[in-house]
Chains A and B, each alone.
Chain A
Amino acid sequence: MRAALTPERYVPAGTLLFLLVLPFLLPNPFYVHIVVMMFTFVILGGAWNILSGYAGQLSLGHAAFFGTGAYVSMLLVNHYGTSPWITLWIGGFAALLLSLPVGFICFRLQGPYFTIATIGLAETLRLLVLHFREITNGAQGLTVPFKGNSPWQMQFDSKLPYYYIALVLAIAVLWITRCMEGVRLGHYLVAIGQNQEAAEALGINSAQAKRRALALSAFLTGVGGVFYAQYTYVIHPDSAFGLGHSIQIAMVAIMGGVGTVLGPALGAIIMEFFIQSTQIVFAGQYPGLELMVYGGLLVAVILWRPRGVFPWFDRLYRGLIARLPSPGRAA
């Protein structure tokens, strides 16, 4: 029995196919880089979304998990020559371990208190990383020496392999989010985000659910950090662990639509498109302009579209699906 050829199936399949061949359609590697950055934002924003989007625990400290993944990976690669394919897991796991005390401290708090605590913890980590410069090389950051094309070391001459790695990771994060939506934890997180006390009264162990969501979120963010470090070959404490970075990560999901699977993907596209266009138009002449407009975008979204672009996209998508031919559907 053949699977029905309905728009609900072939549109996503077509999109995937498009993404697979996209690098060959783009004029030069710079554009491939842009898409890789988009995928990176999907990974980070999607990971953030799992805890903060669904359960409403708004973290502004996720840079800590990103930085942990990146630093752990780089240190292992530099000191022990460990393969980044392995440090992807170790870095993610290190971030997960970090999330345990973070959750213990922060989940006692609600609303803005929680957010402030996450900011404080990320900042503390940043300061500590700067302080212990014998290990971390302080403010100068860490670099991975480029060894030429060495797949086992996740180093490639061209951008293409990075593109596909990032694509796989991005799809993985979205797919994990979708799976989570469909199991009990996903529902429980939404309940907690709506009203934690009421959720508890229905037998929901909110502390446990939040810890699990945070662990997953931290792990994926750490993985994103490892990839990014491998892709850019360099990492600095201020950009990796900084509050600005945490804000950026959060904005991806907020602009796209928190608590939805595709929200982070939409947000990543908008974010990266926007960053690139300001850079092209102003060619770096006005430092601060880009971020300033960024902040303006966030304020605008909050004022007029607090649910992000997802509702609009959803309507558009459903309209499209309804209009497309459906050769496989039973009459």
Chain B
Amino acid sequence: MDLTTFLQALITGILMAGIYALVGIGLTLIFGVVRIVNFAHGEFVMLGMYITFWLWKLWGLDPYLALLVTMPVMFCFGVLVQRFLLQPILRAPDLAQIFMTVGLGVILSNAALLGFTADFRSVKIAYAEWVWRLGGVSVPVTRLFAFLGALLLAGLLTLFLRKTDMGKALRAVAQDREVSMLLGVNPERMYLLAVGLGAALAGAAGGLIVPFFYVFPTVGAIFGLIAFVVVILGTLGSVEGAMLAALIVGVAESLGILFAGADLGLVVVFAILVVALVFRPSGLMGAR
């Protein structure tokens, strides 16, 4: 195995890490603010993928342009989920919180199966085959766009969280609900915002990968699991941690596929998670 092959895998891993980061950030945002682990987060990605696909299929809308529709739609969806499903169980025991989103995930993936059939879908766009060659390494343009798109959105979110009043309010609620209330922040509104944003980011991630990833009802499962690894490795609630962890996971998966085989990429990822949990249970960013 030569250097080029290795670099190819490395680059693929890094590019994919952008998407993993986007999905992970959404999940960690929801947990950080609302304190609920969203077991349906993978299905949020799946929804984003299907919305993007159907917009293309029915109206020929370019997947990247479709983000302008996908994201607001997913945002509203997230808000509805928070309002009707999560709000009632905010103070319920673990069992209720975990299985509520587990149940939601089951509903969503099977609704997709019911509505769209199990067929694997893909979009056909002009630039799907374009490849950027860098030395011996070939970078499909769609993957590059996905990465750049993810980076852009992650950057915008970080700006939002740091610089805007609403973003700061969101962080305040994540840090300390009671104190933020004393400062005049309405936690319920922030919960809606957090889940809406988390869903929008997941949906965006889905939309960004449609040009090179098959769309099918259970595609969410993979992303859900990877999101968990990213978020736990990066410490639940930490956006920066999620980004760093996503990089590790993306590269590890890619190298794992290279060295261990295509079907064991995820196993490598889990192995990393296990090792991390055994030695540093609170994740890369330390105890909350």
Residue positions of A touching B, CB distance < 8 A: 56, 58, 60, 105, 108-109, 111-113, 115-117, 119-121, 123-124, 127-128, 130-131, 243-244, 247, 250-251, 254, 258, 286-292, 294-299, 302-303, 306
Q: Which residues of A contact B55 (CB under 8 A)?
A: none
State in angstroms the CA–CA spacing of A243 and B100 once bound together: 16
Partner of B103, one of A119, A287, A298: A298
Across the two chains, which residue of chain A brings its CB closest to B263? A131
In the assembled complex, how far is the CB of residue A21 from the closest CB belonging to chain B, in whole angstroms? 37
| B237 close to A (CB within 8 Å) | no
Tally of B interface residues using CB under 8 Å: 47
Q: Which of A123, A286, A303 contacts B225 (CB 8 A)?
A: A123
- Beyond A116-B228, A123-B225, A303-B88, whether A56 also contacts B95 by CB under 8 A is yes
11 extra interchain contacts, Cβ-Cβ under 8 A, other than A117-B274, A128-B264, A303-B100?
A: A58-B95, A108-B281, A112-B97, A117-B273, A117-B277, A120-B225, A124-B270, A288-B113, A295-B110, A306-B92, A306-B93
Query: Which of B99, B111, B261 has a CB less than 8 Å from the CB of A254?
Result: B99
Interface residues of B in 189-217 (CB under 8 A from A): 217
Q: Which A residues touch B110, using CB under 8 A? A: 288-292, 294-295
**Known interface pairs A105-B278, A119-B225, A127-B263. Does A298 touch B111 (Cβ–Cβ under 8 Å)?**
no
Output the least CB separation between A105 and chain B (Å). Answer: 6
CA distance A251 to B99 in the complex (A): 9
Give chain A residues whose Cβ lies under 8 Å from the Cβ of B236: 113
A-B contacts, 18 of them at CB < 8 A, read A113-B281, A117-B273, A117-B274, A120-B274, A124-B266, A287-B117, A288-B112, A288-B114, A289-B114, A291-B106, A292-B110, A292-B114, A295-B106, A295-B108, A296-B103, A298-B102, A299-B104, A302-B89
A115-B98 contact given A123-B225, A299-B107, CB 8 Å threshold = yes
- Grouping DSSP codes into helix (H, G, I), strand (E, B) and loop, the A interface class, with mixed when no group exceeds half, is helix
Instruction: State which of B95, B113, B228, B267 has its C-beta within 8 Å of the C-beta of A124.
Output: B267
**A111, A128, A299: most-surrounded residue (chain B CB, <10 A):** A299
* A123 with B102: CB separation less than 8 A: no
Which residue from B217, B228, B232, B281 sits with its C-beta under 8 Å from A288? B217
Flag if B263 contacts A123 (CB, 8 Å). no
Is residue B65 within 8 Å, beta carbon to beta carbon, of the partner chain?
A: no
A108 x B278 contact (CB < 8 A):
yes
Q: Chain B residues with Cβ under 8 A from A60's Cβ? A: 102
Name the interface residues of B230-253: CB closer than 8 Å to any CB of A: 232, 236
Closest B residue by C-beta to A244: B106
Whether B129 sits at the interface, judged by CB under 8 Å, is no
Q: Does B159 contact A (CB under 8 A)?
A: no
A258 partner residues in chain B, CB cutoff 8 A = 95
